[in-house]
Amino acid sequence: MALHPRPGSLVLSDWQRSPESRDYFNSIMHRNRRKHFGLLEAPVLPLQAAADTVSYKVFVSGKSGVGKSALVAKLAGLEVPSMHYETTGIQTTVVYWPVKLRDNGQVLLFRFQLWDCGENALRKFDHLLPACRDQTDAVLHLFSFTDRSSFDDLSSQITRISESAGSNVKLVVGTKFDQFMHTDVTERELREFQQAWAVPVFCFQSAGGGVGRAGLADIAPLLNGLAEQLWTQDLQAARLHTDGLHCSFTDKKLHC
């Protein structure tokens, strides 16, 4: 079983607050707003702030109405829809996130390509789920704190997705945490689930939060956690193939 890094053990947790990170985070901001990147676009860094880019495909999975599209919008700095609507097909969104490694001080620019697909579309068209799972590096399994059935469905959801997605990174995200007073899921149940499935669980509020650079603090725990899990997966895979060889980067990820 893969070991999960302790949050903050691989990357500096609040690095986005430091003056040193300004050039890197300015590359994903414009007029105090997040830049929106297409599939072929990338941040432009100044020469003194060079960083290797590592790219990963992330599938966002969960029942209809748990807040998949709202989560993706917040991570990308997009406007969160005020009303729920079913995603009609596959929607991909690119999110860039700079991190600084704790052990050697190296800065990496993580490129997350988030894949979101509506539950009804997945049921209607058999080819959509295999397309979402193909060559996936990580899966975000979502449930809503206000929907008990979405939490009860997590076990079968993880099993179903893992059948063909392989041994990729798995994270569980509880949405609508800002409505915790009306929750149908207890803290004890969350702890028991996390221990039973050995997956990290993140709590995420669906609305509110800061904008611009202030809003980066709202998404930092999840994006840093995802980066740590993926980087650990790459390091563990590299150790299985070689010991002591020089590792280098391509536009995809770590290679040895």
Task: Evaluate if residue 1 carries a pLDDT over 50.
Answer: no
pLDDT at 211 (0 to 100): 60
The secondary structure element, H or E, covering residue 209 is none
Rounded to an integer, the average pLDDT of 152-180 is: 83
| Residues in Cβ contact with 190 at an 8 Å cutoff, skipping those fewer than 6 apart | 174, 201
Enter the pTM of the model: 0.87
pLDDT of residue 25 exceeding 70, the answer is yes
| 75-112 tens-digit pLDDT | 998 887 776 677 777 889 999 999 999 999 999 999 99
pLDDT confidence of residue 16: 93
Residue 91 exposure: Cα atoms within 13 Å on the Cβ side = 18
DSSP 8-state assignment for residue 99: E
Name the residue with higher pLDDT: 132 or 118.
132
In this prediction, residue 192 carries a pLDDT of 93
At 133 the pLDDT is 85
The owner of tokens 């941040």 is 43
d(CA 1, CA 4): 9
Angle (CA) 145-112-49 rounded to 5° is 125
Residue pLDDT, tens place only, 26-71: 999 988 889 999 989 999 999 888 899 999 999 999 888 888 988 9
- Note the pLDDT tens digit of each residue in 185-209: 888 999 999 999 989 999 987 665 5
Query: What is the pLDDT, as a whole number, of residue 126?
Result: 80
pLDDT in tens, 205-243: 766 555 667 789 999 999 999 999 999 999 888 877 665
Cα gap 172→94, rounded to integer Å: 20
